[in-house]
Amino acid sequence: MKEYLIYCPECDEYTALGQYLSDERRFQGEYSLLHNRHANDNDILCRFLIKHLRHQLWTIPNLTEEFAQVIRGSHRFLDREIDDHVLESHQYKQYQEEESKRQLQLSQLHFHVIETILEEEAKAIANIPTQTPAESQFWLGKEQGVKRAVELLKEWADRLKE
């Protein structure tokens, strides 16, 4: 479990990258002991890089003496803000997940409304009186088309549920 720091020797300041999450192609970000979780965003890293523009920066892996020295003797970038940032980051992620669920539910509702309208249209078409075989064939084709649209709509709604 390799973790990293980025250290600016000029300012004697560092920020933690955490582990690299290869499947997500990002680092975990700073860690809050208070909330027992990582920030899971790059906000603090980006702010660190902007503040230390044109400074020589070192990337230091954990389990080294250099890593321990930096942690013990240097200033942690935005140290007082990290706990709040991690909490806000977690709350924002929860909000995004809830918003995504709401959007999914709204889409399912839209599908259901359209499905009901199309089913009623198919029933109305089926009840249209016809006088010639050609007219019957025409309305039967239209009814079958609307029923097929309902089937496709149900397939899409089922995919959304997954």
Write the DSSP assignment of 70-133 as a string of letters: HHHHSEETTTTTHHHHHHHHHHHHHHHHHHHHHHHHHHHHHHHHHHHHHHHHHHHHHT---SSH
pLDDT in tens, 6-59: 999 999 999 999 999 999 999 999 999 999 999 999 999 999 999 999 999 999
User: pTM value?
Assistant: 0.69
- DSSP single-letter state for residue 41: S
Cα radius of gyration (the chain): 29
| pLDDT of residue 154 exceeding 80 | yes
**Per-residue pLDDT at 33:** 93
Q: 56 phi and psi, to 5 degrees?
A: -80, 125
